[in-house]
Amino acid sequence: MRPLFGFLAGLVFGVGLLWSGMANPAKVLNFLDVFGAWDASLAFVMGGASLTAFIGYRLAWRQSRPLLLADFQIPTSSDIDLRLLSGAAIFGIGWGIGGFCPGPAWTALPMAAPGTLIFVPAMLIGITLGRALKS
């Protein structure tokens, strides 16, 4: 049952990315270009996602346990350390250069745009190198 709900959640997420235009790196790059062709639509997408998450968490915490697991899996670490900050910086730089983060990149992959065909393999190489450096 969990794989089915995981698939459905991913499908809804992917359709939402496509519908909102977030699979188009120009949307992200235009959002970051505050002195040029600025496009505020990404802010509305993030705001809608934040509102949805806020309401969803409020509803989830009212339950004694999640529907498909024995208990809630909540991160225990709240440390802000060099690894967290450097990872966030690398993610942000990649997002600003490529106009993609991992979710929209996978969503845009079937469109076979040249930028996507370069970004996704580079992202996978970066993930592999990051894991190797971490261990």
**Sign of torsion over alpha carbons 45, 49, 55, 56:** positive
Q: What pLDDT was estimated at residue 42?
A: 87
Report the alpha-carbon distance of residue 12 to residue 16 in Å, rounded.
Answer: 6
Report the alpha-carbon distance of residue 128 to residue 126 in Å, rounded.
Answer: 5
Rounded mean pLDDT, 80-94: 90
Report pTM. 0.69
Res. 125: pLDDT tops 90: yes
Q: What pLDDT was estimated at residue 102?
A: 85
Q: What pLDDT was estimated at residue 55?
A: 97
